[in-house]
Amino acid sequence: MDKDFGPQRPSDLDRCKYTLYKNGEPPKKGYADPRNVEFAWTDELCESKGSEHRPMFVDDGASSNDCKQGNLGDCWLISAMSVLAERDELLVGGRRGMEYEKDMIIDKIIADLLSKGVYPPIFHRFRAIGLFVIRLFVEFQWVYVIVDERLPVDSKTRKPIFGRCRNVHEMWVSLIEKAFAKVYGCYENLISGYVDEGINHLTAFPSEKILIKNETTGVFPHKTIEQHYGGSEGLWKLLMERDNEGCLMGCSIKGQQGGPLILEGKDSGLIKNHAYSLNDIIELDDPTSKGAKLRLLRLRNPWGKSEWKGAWSSNSEEMTTHKAHIQAYINTLPPDEQFDMEADDGIFFIHYDDWKDNFTALFVNIDFPENWTGLRFHSKWTKSNAGGLPKRYENDHLERFAKNPQFMISPEQDMEVFFSMAQIGGRLQSDSQYFTYPFSETIKYGAVSVFKLPKEEKYLSKFSKEDLVFMSPIKLEKENAGRCLLKADSNYVIVCSLEKAGSKNEFYLSVYFDQPLRNVNCKRVFHPLDKNKGKEEVLPILIPEEAEKLVNRTPLWKIQLVKESLAFMITDEDEGVQM
């Protein structure tokens, strides 16, 4: 039994209350009353529901269809798990269908595979004593969270009150959600967030958030799509490319308040302020129009119900016309990803035009190819360098902006660069307090920009529209990212800034580019008024989670641990183990 999280006995109401909610009380009407909640062992749940199976972490591989949201506003996390399930190796390590034999040869590649995943194979042995080791990426480091297999259930119905798998005997969704709740203090602290945050925690893949519609007019496209992604055609191309690269994606619709999205006076079936997993990008030949293509997206609502009702929905004219064609596509999916087109299970198709006209944000967690290089800086805004953003295009405001932390990047060849500024703070406890989303007590409005330096200059001396290459939207979010093209034999600076001058915080800047490190000079540079010189590292570090891809870095102790743990590892189906 986990003595750090959850009640220690059935009558331990206080521990139960504060495991569920930060103040011991439901945050709003409709949430479970702690007096009606018990923490039940998973084998008891299977017995109470008449399941012929004993409890398993995962049975016959994970599926995006497994994930069901419970009575908790953590759609961002449940959707993230639904996306993750498209790649089993990210969940349970190894490779899909991989069999483990105690005499198999363990080299650095195999050892690396078996020590990764949200539930790494090297820790599978501990499930025999009811403990699970869940690996999460929190504040730029891997954290290993130990949870037991007790889950909060309604004391009358014996159903889990929070996230769960579709099959009663599968536990992976509930156990990962419990690990998140343990990291962040209680289940209530998981309310509200973005899909990309969840995916980043599960994989360490950096997030690229792309605003789809103009924030003022509410109409496609947002200016960054025109400026940096090639408009509508460029965005579709990006979706196809990221899908082919194995990136994990989600999307959402921003609204002043939650509830149904109403279109032309009718309920569209879409939900505002709600996260959806984006499970596939599909371009099919249109059999009814020679040379034409059908551009569709397959989405999933983590509620496991409530779907888009417009064109290409289950009983629409388009779906009726193309039913055989779409069914042929479904038949190409792995068996555990196939679904019934007519079932209300939260899975639906939507045409690209309808998607971009109704959704407001796309989240892409990027699994960079091995030929990309990743670097990271740790920095902070202090009294001397918190220059803020220019409020007016006046010289003192423009010069003050240049005090912000700057990072020079100089490529020898033309290259694409992706960069992500992530503030420290948010969901984690700060000064013995937990704050609510969007965590404005610890996260500030900010932006990240790229400027081309005039020749001979070693740092940016003031904000200049003429030299501006990229500027992200100003957002109250933990992570702010962008990408652009840089020209050879030129000097650029990435500038990280908060909106208000004088605001302080720590942050990490992660920089990825499609060139070897030897072809790129990247370092911290300092404005004369920035007094952090001498207090911060000038050179970046190789991003540790990217360095994991270099198998020659696998240490010998990890190889030995894998050898000792082989007999206890699960593959697609958890057959149990005796210690």
pLDDT digits (tens, 9 = 90+) for 333-344: 988 889 998 999
Q: What are phi and psi of 423, to 5 degrees?
A: -80, 150
What is the model's pLDDT at position 10? 82
Q: What are phi and psi of 482, to 5 degrees?
A: -170, 175
Structural tokens at position 538: 């000038």
Domains and CATH numbers, the chain: 13-204 (no CATH), 207-246+248-365 (3.90.70.10), 373-548 (2.60.120.380)
What is the model's pLDDT at position 63? 87
CA distance 249 to 364: 5
DSSP for 514-526 reads: SS-GGGEEEEEE-
Task: Give every residue of the chain whose pLDDT is below 50, as ranges.
Answer: 551, 572-573, 576-579
What is the model's pLDDT at position 573? 45
Structural tokens at position 40: 């039940």
CA-nearest of 294, 269, 302, 296 to 280 is 296
Residue 500 CB: number of other CB atoms within 10 A?
13
If 0-12 CB within 10 Å is exposed, 13-18 middle and 19+ buried, where does residue 144 land? Answer: exposed
Structural tokens at position 93: 């390590």
What is the model's pLDDT at position 95? 63
